[in-house]
Amino acid sequence: MSAPAPASAPRTDHPGVIAWVDEMARLCLPDRIHWCDGSEEEKERLTQQAVDAKILIRLNQEKLPGCYYHRSNPNDVARVEECTYICTRTRDEAGPTNNWMAPADMYRKLYDLCHGAMKGRTMYVVPYLMGPPGSPMTKIGLELTDSLYVVLSMRIMTRMGQVAWDQLGSGGTYTKGLHSMLDVNPGRRFITHFPQDNAIISVGSNYGGNVLLGKKCLALRLGSYLGRDEGWMAEHMLILGVESPHGEKTYVAAAFPSSCGKTNFAMLIPPKQFSGWKITTVGDDIAWMKPGPDGRLRAINPEAGYFGVVPGTNSKSNPNAMQAMSRDTIYTNVALTPDGDVWWEGKDGEPPKECLDWKGNPWTPASNEKAAHPNSRFAAPMANNPALAPEANDPDGVPISALIFGGRRATTLPLVFQAFNWIHGVYVGATMGSEMTAAAAGTLGQVRRDPMAMLPFCGYNMGDYFAHWLKMRKLLKNPPKIFSVNWFRKAKDGSFLWPGYGENMRVLKWIVDRCRGRVPAYESPLGWMPDPSDIDSTGLSDTDRTNLPEALSLNFEEWKREVLLQDELFFRLYSDLPKELLFQRELLISRL
């Protein structure tokens, strides 16, 4: 057994922080307060406490050094959009796509729930940075939480501890975050944002996307709100660098809805034929982007770790992720083998003869249930990624040449096209649709409109968000080109038309070459498109090469239906929709 935590003294003399922590402690009534410093020694001590309390299971340290296993409450395995609120002063500011409650009413409701909620527990004061230390784009957050799992995960996902206390100083601004698991009851689960107070309160859950407050809550929901006011953009985008054999580097940022392969794309390994080409990862989920002094859009990844979907990850689909999660990783809701290893559907090799599934029940290959939850996750430090771009720690970020919007669509959306210009690109992003995945509770497979993959993450009115995108063009002398991709189109027999994974390099190369004016395109009703012969297909399998024209084809009947389906979102947003987007819709219809 580990020694009890020594009483910990405040690690800051910031009067606002001291007063707020005191106020929250008087509300939640924890037995102890622990001010985190982020040190190695603290990590070891808190990890041992989590093991003693059965919050974490130590995995086989020979196979997986520094790795631990966590099982969540089975009622708490994904983000819950129906419990997520944007509490702006007026309902109109939050817009029709967000749940809203007046701030005073929500504070009252949550303070009632939090009253005495930490009795018998420790309140951890977790200071963290979103962004590299010293970057003008970096923001400071403080999360008060009663979950050790959250503390240890935040230490992976953010720059947590003394580095944040140092940047905060005695007068810095910060985002307030309060989290209590309560009794992990879906009926008392609220993920709430108060943009005008720069504050977050999350109760009743212990699932990453709901409780690692730096991630979706600060970096996207409050981030998008702050970005609108401060002239920058917080986007649900990976950032990667493409390095050519001549050492030329091009950076792209790409938005895909949750669980559509952002992590895989960010860590892509090019096929053999692309010898000398290299992809490096700046970020796998979130981009903060601001016009730089040179008039280009510069991006940082605010996070320091990956919270990736595990099932389907293997040495073919994502070798870099496999390495990243081979040490110092927290696994959640995968399966546990008798020798302390982890397993999931789609891992390399044969399934274990027996193991415990994500709920802790005995499982064999004959079982009808899945061993790992489809939204089981790994939290791994980005430093573990063999393809990490050194620029991921650059306070100035990287210049973005292309923005890519991608959906998961079995039909309609071709493999790739380029928007005619920025306004058209905003329309392409705004009308994105995708089939729903297990990352959020909902109906799997149903197509829903997910503009810029931000539907669950935009911290204000979506119509105003589109207007902000349009306005950003005016701040950029040299804006990125905008593209649409779809790796998931299917043939009539249900098979995928494009192999995906590392082969996506072929499409990425066309995108990079378009940005650099090196490759032709023809004008289609959707935008600029490659002829199949413009996509480098050396070494592609015969089937994939045969399928390429179909993967790139346009079906006018499907597109007429698509435009009508897009209207569903446009009608909801109608009064707030920038006119430019309605004009783009008309132009598309006339081109079709």
Where in the sequence numbering do the catalytic residues fall? 260
Residues 6+ apart with CB under 8 A from 47: 56, 68, 152
Contact partner, 281, from Mn ion, ligand OXD, none, Cβ < 5-8 Å per class: none
Our CB check for ligand OXD shows the closer of 167 and 376 to be 376
Q: Does 219 bind ligand OXD (CB under 6 A)?
A: no
CA gap 3, 149 in Å, rounded: 19
Give the CA dihedral 534, 539, 543, 544, nearest 10 degrees.
-50
Interaction with ligand OXD in 123-152: which residues (CB under 6 A)?
A: none
Nearer to ligand OXD among residue 79 and residue 514 (C-beta): 79
Tell me the C-alpha to C-alpha distance, in Å, between residue 21 and each of 13, 178, 180, 418.
12, 10, 14, 50
Q: Which is nearer to Mn ion, 285 or 464 (CB)?
A: 285
Contact residues for 432 (Cβ-Cβ < 8 A; gap 6+): 255, 257, 405, 407, 449, 450, 451, 452, 453, 484
Looking at the Cβ atoms of 312 and 532, the one nearer to ligand OXD is 312
Backbone angles phi, psi at 81, to 5 degrees: -70, -30
Name which of 392, 391, 400, 397 is nearest 511 in CA terms.
400
Nearest distance from residue 456's CB to Mn ion, in Å? Answer: 9
- Minimum distance of Mn ion from residue 285's CB (angstroms): 4
Q: Does 285 bind Mn ion (CB under 5 A)?
A: yes
Smallest distance, ligand OXD to C-beta of residue 64, A = 22
Judged by CB under 6 A, the chain residues 255 through 284 that form the site for ligand OXD are: 258
CA distance 76 to 309: 15
> Among residues 30 and 308, whose Cβ is nearest to ligand OXD?
308
CB burial of residue 77 (10 Å; 0-12, 13-18, 19+): buried
The span from the CA of 123 to the CA of 228, in Å, is 33
Closest to ligand OXD by CB, 261 vs 425, is 261
Span from 118-126, 199-207, 254-262, 493-501 in contact with Mn ion (CB under 5 A): 254-262
Q: H/E element holding 418?
A: strand 416-418
- CA dist 348 and 241 (Å) reads 28
Least CB distance to ligand OXD at residue 346 (A) = 18
Does 357 help bind Mn ion (rule: CB under 5 A)?
A: no
How far apart are the C-alpha atoms of 355 and 337, rounded to whole Å? 4
Q: Pick the piece of the chain touching Mn ion (CB under 5 A) from 256-264, 510-518, 548-556, 559-567.
A: 256-264
Judged by beta carbon distances under 5 to 8 A according to partner kind, the member of Mn ion, ligand OXD, none in contact with residue 504 is none
Q: Does residue 79 interact with ligand OXD by CB under 6 A?
A: yes
Asked if 146 is part of the footprint of Mn ion (rule: CB under 5 A), the reply reads: no
DSSP codes, 123-176: EEEEEEEESSTT-TT-EEEEEEES-HHHHHHHHHHSEESHHHHHHHTTT---EE
Residue 68 binds which of ligand OXD, Mn ion, none (CB < 5-8 A, kind-dependent): none
Contacts with ligand OXD, 289-318, as mask; x by CB under 6 A: ------------------x-----------
**CA separation for the pair 131, 164 (Å, rounded):** 11
Cβ atoms of residues 130 and 218 within 8 Å = yes
Q: How far is the CB of 215 from Mn ion (least distance, A)?
A: 8
CA–centroid distance for 454 within its chain: 10
Q: Is 239 in the site for ligand OXD (CB under 6 A)?
A: no
> Is 209 a residue that touches ligand OXD (CB under 6 A)?
yes
CB of 148 to ligand OXD, least distance (A): 20
Q: Alpha-carbon distance 156 to 154, whole Å? A: 5
Q: Which residues, numbered 430-469, are part of the site for ligand OXD (CB under 6 A)?
A: 439
Residue 204, interface with ligand OXD (CB under 6 A)?
no
Nearer to Mn ion, 80 or 577 (CB): 80
Number of residues that bind Mn ion (CB under 5 A): 2
Query: Smaller CB distance to ligand OXD: residue 258 or 566?
Result: 258
Output the smallest distance, CB 215 to ligand OXD, in A: 7
Q: How far is the CB of 285 from ligand OXD (least distance, A)?
A: 5
Judged by beta carbon, residue 442 or residue 500, the one nearer ligand OXD is 442
Nearer to ligand OXD, 177 or 283 (CB): 283
Quickly tell me which residue has 């399934």 as its tokens: 351
Q: Residue 128: which of ligand OXD, Mn ion, none does it interact with, CB under 5 to 8 A by kind?
A: none
Residues 458, 221: contact at Cβ < 8 Å? yes
Question: Does the protein bind ligand OXD through residue 285 (CB under 6 A)?
Answer: yes
DSSP 3-state assignment of 550? Answer: helix
Q: CB 394: neighbour CB atoms within 10 A? A: 14
The number of angstroms, rounded, from the C-alpha of 291 to the middle of its chain's C-alpha atoms is 22
Provide, rounded to whole angstroms, the least separation between the CB of residue 452 and Mn ion: 12
Strands 481-485 and 416-418: antiparallel
Q: What is the chain's length?
A: 592
**Which residue is nearest to ligand OXD, using beta carbons?**
258
SS (H, E, C) 359-376: CCCEECCCCCCCCCCCCC
Nearest-approach distance from CB 209 to ligand OXD, in angstroms = 5
Size of the site for ligand OXD (CB under 6 A): 6
Q: Which does 79 bind (CB under 5 to 8 A by kind): Mn ion, ligand OXD, none?
A: ligand OXD
Residue 209 binds which entry of ligand OXD, Mn ion, none, with Cβ cut-offs from 5 to 8 Å by kind?
A: ligand OXD
User: Which chain residues interact with ligand OXD by CB under 6 A?
Assistant: 79, 209, 258, 285, 307, 439
Which residues here bind Mn ion, judged by CB under 5 A?
258, 285
